[in-house]
Amino acid sequence: MLSLITAITFLSVGGVPQETGQLPATQREIGSCDAEGGSMITEFSELRRDGSILTEEMSVEDAFQLGPPSEVVELRWLNDGTPVRLAAPNGVLAKVMPQRTCVVLIRDGAVSVIDAGGHLIRSVLLGADEALWFEPPLSSQPNELGIVVSTPEGNRIVEVNITSGEVLSSRETR
């Protein structure tokens, strides 16, 4: 059965985003990024607005062969063999975490963690800062990643633990 989510949004109650770590228990139980007992993401790919498909196996040179850069508007993968599709008509940046149990998204400047089944686990709140792109974290922990954010003072790299949603550190970019 195909799971299709037509828009990826922050979880909100009464229109106000919930603080990370205060999501309703039913939302936390939907999925997890923990490798133990979690469903596995395989065959991850990104559909671009121009119709071309980027796969994980492609090199940067392979992607350039597809033509000029084009916004990613849909993510596709298998969740233990079941197809999952996430549509993002406004564009999305995505990163499959090393344990392959979740995907972290940057969409409209916001960061969301999605489980292998395509369900929202949590939103990572960065205050008024806008998420721009992913960077490798200083730490080598599999559940941490770096995100470049735009602030009124300039760009910064924040390190986030995607399991807890906690912002671990923040440093200026060079």
- Which residues, other chains included, contact 131 with Cβ-Cβ below 8 Å and sequence gap of 6+? 106, 109, 110, 111, 147, 148, 149
Tens of pLDDT, residue by residue over 119-146, are: 998 887 777 778 888 888 777 777 788 8
Q: What is the mean pLDDT of residues 65-92?
A: 93
Q: Please report the sign of the dihedral spanned by the C-alpha atoms of residue 134, residue 11, residue 120, residue 122.
A: positive
Task: Report the predicted TM-score, pTM, of the whole model to 2 decimal places.
Answer: 0.73
CA distances from 152 to 96, 128, 129, 149, 156 (A): 29, 9, 8, 10, 10
- Which residues, other chains included, contact 26 with Cβ-Cβ below 8 Å and sequence gap of 6+? none
The confidence score (pLDDT) of residue 51 equals 94
- Which residues, other chains included, contact 112 with Cβ-Cβ below 8 Å and sequence gap of 6+? 8, 10, 104, 105, 120, 122, 123, 124
The confidence score (pLDDT) of residue 35 equals 61
In the predicted structure, residue 6 carries a pLDDT above the cut 60: no
Domains in the chain: ranges and CATH: 31-172 (2.40.10.480)
The confidence score (pLDDT) of residue 87 equals 94
Q: What is the mean pLDDT of residues 147-168?
A: 79
The confidence score (pLDDT) of residue 129 equals 79
Top mean-pLDDT range of 4-8, 37-41, 99-103: 99-103
Q: What DSSP character marks residue 63?
A: H
Tens of pLDDT, residue by residue over 17-72, are: 233 332 332 333 345 676 666 689 999 999 999 999 999 999 989 988 998 889 99
31-45 residues labelled b (16+ CB within 10 A) or e (exposed): bbbeeeebbebeebb
What are the residues facing 74 on neighbouring strands?
Answer: 47, 87
Q: Which two tokens stand for residue 99?
A: 């344990």
What are the residues facing 166 on neighbouring strands?
Answer: 161
